[in-house]
Amino acid sequence: MLVIDVQNAMFAKTNPKYEGESLLKNLQDVMNKTHPDNMPVFFIQHNDEEFISGTPLWEIHSLIVPHEGDIVIQKHTSDSFHKTELLEKLVSKQSQNLIVVGNQNEYYTDATILHAFSLGDHVTLIKDVHRTWNSNILAAQ
């Protein structure tokens, strides 16, 4: 499972995302089902001028914290594979069927899913466990 950019900045009260609270609840439900099954979980954490490493906005949301054995991958672009160790870690876990959850459909989840497909992976995007904001590109609903 790839948990993409579930960081505090994505849930700021000053810029509320579409149904952000329900996303957190749905993520908790999925995580509670995933961890007992020992499914590998990869947390993808974005880094840029807004998501500065070590700051509160950069931190993974406290309701969706990594468990022991989960892998945290740092990225600097929309694509979670680009110049990261994600592919190497997926290969080491023999993962070819990816479940994707997280934030900003039109950028981070989209770029990552397209890259995974290009590698021949099977990808499942779970309904109601990914979100974004309304924009000219995509309606959040």
Q: Which pairing describes strands 2-4 and 97-103: parallel, antiparallel, or unpaired? A: parallel
Strand 2-4's sheet: what is its strand order?
71-75, 42-46, 2-4, 97-103, 122-131
Quickly state the pLDDT bin for 136 (edges 50, 70, 90): confident
Question: In this model, does residue 93 exceed pLDDT 80?
Answer: yes
The one-letter amino acid code at 71 reads I
Tens of pLDDT, residue by residue over 41-59, are: 999 999 999 899 999 999 9
3-state DSSP call for residue 125? strand
**123 bridge partner residues:** 98
